[in-house]
Amino acid sequence: MKSVTIWTDGACSGNPGPGGWGAILEYNGHQKEMSGGDAMTTNNRMELMAAIASLEALKEDCNVTLYSDSKYLTDSINKGWVFSWEKMGFQKKGKAVPNTDLWKRVLELIRKHEVTFVWVKGHASNEKNNRCDEMAVAEWKRIKAGK
């Protein structure tokens, strides 16, 4: 399996509001930047979409280290919460788990690829996390401006 490193971030203006995500994929000395957004979304949805879009961009099964400043994303995987939600039909305390549609996509992708999720401190001195944040913010600004 190829080893790929992915950096992701999501951002939102208002919560909900226009949002964006950014990702950097690295493989064998090459780097690819990706970004996207949605007109009406939340920060958590954009964090999940950054991971989903970057994993979906991989053309074959890979061994992935995915860095994110989202505790929502990394803790949900690393602490096993999402697997418990799945077993319970994506219900928690009698209510639907937020973002179930995206969590199902995440689960499908992490079962295809071997993914290790690593939390990094956001808005700190991490160059790649900061770049992903810049792309995510640029996306929500673009959407907010109607472009």
Active-site annotation, residues: 9-10, 47, 69, 123, 133
Q: Which residue has the tokens 């697997």?
A: 83
What Å distances lie between residue 62 and 44, 56, 66, CA to CA?
25, 11, 12
Strands 17-27 and 30-41: antiparallel
What Å distances lie between residue 84 and 18, 88, 103, 105, 129, CA to CA?
30, 6, 12, 16, 29
Distance, in Å, from the CA atom of 12 to the CA atom of 65, rounded to the nearest integer, reads 24
> What are the tokens at 82?
């999402």
Q: How far is CA 124 from the centre of its chain?
A: 18
Q: What is the DSSP letter of 97?
A: P
